[in-house]
Amino acid sequence: MTDVNAIFFLSDFGQRDEFVGVVHAVLHKMNPKISVIDLTHEVPAFAISVGAGILERSVDYLGPGVVLAVVDPGVGTSRRPIAIEIETEHGPRFFVGPDNGLLVGAAERRGDIVAVFQLDSSVDVGAVTFDGRDRFAPAASYLASGHDPRERFCECDPSTLVRLPVHLSDASALGQGTSATLIVTSIDAYGNCALDRPGAALPRLGQVLSVKTERVQTQAAVVKAFGDLEPLGLGMLVDSSGHVALVVNTGSAKDLLSVERGDSVLISG
C-alpha cells in the first residue's frame, strides 16, 4: 500500500454549513496522513457544467493524488457513484464523484481512462442525501491510501460514462462565419469570465466578435493582454489557465455583461 499524497476536493457545498468540515473530518478519521486541498466549495448549487469547467482548468496543476468532486443534484437517484482511473505519469490518478459529467473532461485532460468503477451503493447509510460524506469521501480515502480499487469496487464500461454536451477540451474555432454558445464556468474576484473553450479556439488577434448574453449585446476584440484594450473596453483573451475568457481592462466583464457562473454567452464571428 502506497499513499498517493493528496485529495483535491471540490463541491457546491458552500462554507456556511458544516458539510465541508464534516467531509474533512471523515477523510482525516480514515487516514490522518493524507493532505486535503480545497479547490473550491463555491460552485453554484447544482451547476455541474461550472464544476466540470473548474476541474478542467485546475487539473494540470494538481500533483499525485485523488480528485474528490461533488456537484450532485441526482443524489439518491439511479445516477452512479463512480471512480475513474487514468493512466498518468504526473497528477491525480483517480477521480471520485457522481457519474453526471462532472469528472470526465478533467480526467481525460490528464490521461487515458484505464477503468471506471462503480462505488458500493448497497451500504445502508440511512437517508441518502449526503453521498459526499457517506460514499465519495470513504472511496477517495481508500484510493488515496494506495489500495487497489479492484479489490473493493466493480468495474463498468467506460463508454457508459455520462458526458456533458460541451467540454473545455473542445477546440472548435471561434471567429469569421461561426457562432457558438459558451458557458461561463468561472468568474474571478476581478469580474473576468472564463468560458468553456480552450485558448486554441480563439481566432487571430485583433478580430472583433459579437457577444450576446441574456441582457446585453456588444462586441469584444481578441487581444493578448488586458492592456491591449482601451480602459473599460471588453475583450477576449487566453487566461492564465489557457482558456478563453471575457475581460474588461480595469473593469468587470461580469458587471458589463450582467452574467453569473453557469450563464450562456453567444459568440459570433
Mean pLDDT of 244-261: 97
CATH of 6-160, one of 3.40.190.10, 3.40.50.10790, 3.40.50.2300, 3.30.420.40: 3.40.50.10790
Q: What is the pTM of this model?
A: 0.84
124, pLDDT greater than 90 = no
pLDDT, one tens digit per residue, over 166-176 is: 767 788 889 87
Per-residue DSSP letter, 132: I
Distance CA 246, CA 227 (A): 14
Q: Supply the pLDDT for residue 2.
A: 53
CATH of 179-268, one of 2.60.40.10, 3.10.580.10, 2.60.120.10, 2.40.30.90: 2.40.30.90
Mean pLDDT of 77-95: 92
pLDDT, one tens digit per residue, over 126-136 is: 556 899 999 99
123, pLDDT greater than 80 = no
Mean pLDDT of 191-200: 93
Q: Which residues pair with 40 in a beta bridge?
A: 10
125, pLDDT greater than 80 = no
Report domain extents, the chain: 6-160, 179-268
Contact 146, 152 (CB under 8 A): no
Q: Supply the pLDDT for residue 4.
A: 58
180, pLDDT greater than 60 = yes
227, pLDDT greater than 70 = yes
241, pLDDT greater than 90 = no
Mean pLDDT of 70-89: 93
Distance CA 30, CA 70 (A): 19
Distance CA 266, CA 246 (A): 12
Tell me the HSE value of 205 on the side-chain side, using a 13 A CA sphere: 7
151, pLDDT greater than 80 = yes
121, pLDDT greater than 60 = no
Q: Supply the pLDDT for residue 111.
A: 92
Q: What is the dihedral of CA 117, 89, 132, 158, to 10 degrees?
A: -30
Domains 6-160 and 179-268 alike in fold = no
pLDDT, one tens digit per residue, over 43-63 is: 989 999 889 989 988 999 999
